[in-house]
């Protein structure tokens, strides 16, 4: 995956500022009932600053290659298999616990299109549920590209540490195993474009 450029990030922020959103219907039509497919997504998120710096406008633009599943059977198989394969390679994991792994419930629930989820409490909020392959990001402060060292001065200490020292490992508390499979739920309102099945959806 090629690195994001400043121009691409600025264009993404401009699209995001229009407040247009990809719809569930658009994504469903683009998936065309494919059980599992790859997609590229470009999205913009606001960086949560410390209270003293809440007036600062810092945005993170991310380009990611992801796996999308349109039904529960495909997702359970793809996700569980990826987790088990990853966890099996980590020597500190109990192999019986790895074998027993199964996905657990979360704060959201899946819709008829499995990779679209909605918040259990706020049903009007829709998210893209994606398994990440690769991703790269740029930070923009008032429209100018900045590095992580610049961003951390506006964050809480814990958020700064997480940004500078990110962990590649996920710990599953239920099964007490670690793995490297990253799943994200991205608000549809933050996505500015999606390339899937030879189609490009944009806001």
pLDDT for 89 equals: 94
110-119, 127-136, 152-161, range with the lowest pLDDT: 110-119
pLDDT > 80? residue 75: no
Nearest Cα residue to 70 out of 38, 40, 107, 45? 38
Nearest Cα residue to 189 out of 4, 23, 13? 23
Largest CA distance in the chain: 50
Nearest-10 Cα torsion for 175, 71, 132, 179: 10
Q: Look up residue 188 and give its DSSP letter.
A: G
pLDDT for 36 equals: 87
Strands 126-141 and 144-146: antiparallel
Nearest Cα residue to 52 out of 190, 158, 153? 153
Q: What is the mean pLDDT of residues 62-73?
A: 88
pLDDT > 90? residue 122: no
Compute and round to an integer the Cα radius of gyration of the chain.
18
Q: How confident is the model at residue 112 (pLDDT cuts 50, 70, 90)?
A: confident
Residue showing tokens 């930070």: 139
Strands 126-141 and 183-187: antiparallel
Q: What is the mean pLDDT of residues 13-34?
A: 90
pLDDT for 1 equals: 64
72 neighbors 58 (Cβ within 8 angstroms): no
The pTM score is: 0.89
- Provide the mean pLDDT of the chain: 91
Q: How confident is the model at residue 69 (pLDDT cuts 50, 70, 90)?
A: confident
């Amino acid at each position: 995956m090629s690195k994001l450029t400043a121009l691409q990030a600025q264009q993404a922020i401009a699209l995001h500022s229009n407040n247009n959103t990809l719809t569930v219907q658009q994504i469903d039509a683009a998936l065309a009932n494919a059980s599992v497919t790859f997609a590229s997504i470009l999205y913009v998120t606001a960086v949560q600053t410390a209270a003293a710096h809440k007036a600062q406008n810092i945005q993170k633009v991310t380009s990611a290659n992801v796996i999308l599943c349109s039904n529960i059977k495909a997702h359970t198989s793809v996700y569980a298999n990826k987790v088990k394969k990853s966890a099996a390679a980590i020597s500190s994991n109990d192999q019986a616990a790895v074998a027993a792994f199964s996905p657990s419930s979360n704060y959201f629930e899946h819709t008829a299109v499995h990779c679209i989820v909605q918040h259990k409490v706020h049903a009007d909020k829709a998210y893209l549920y994606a398994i990440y392959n690769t991703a790269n990001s740029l930070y923009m402060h008032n429209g100018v590209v900045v590095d992580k060292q610049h961003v951390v001065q506006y964050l809480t200490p814990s958020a700064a540490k997480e940004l500078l020292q990110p962990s590649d490992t996920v710990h599953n508390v239920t099964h007490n195993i670690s793995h490297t499979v990253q799943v994200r739920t991205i608000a549809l309102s933050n996505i500015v474009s999606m390339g899937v099945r030879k189609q490009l959806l944009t806001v």
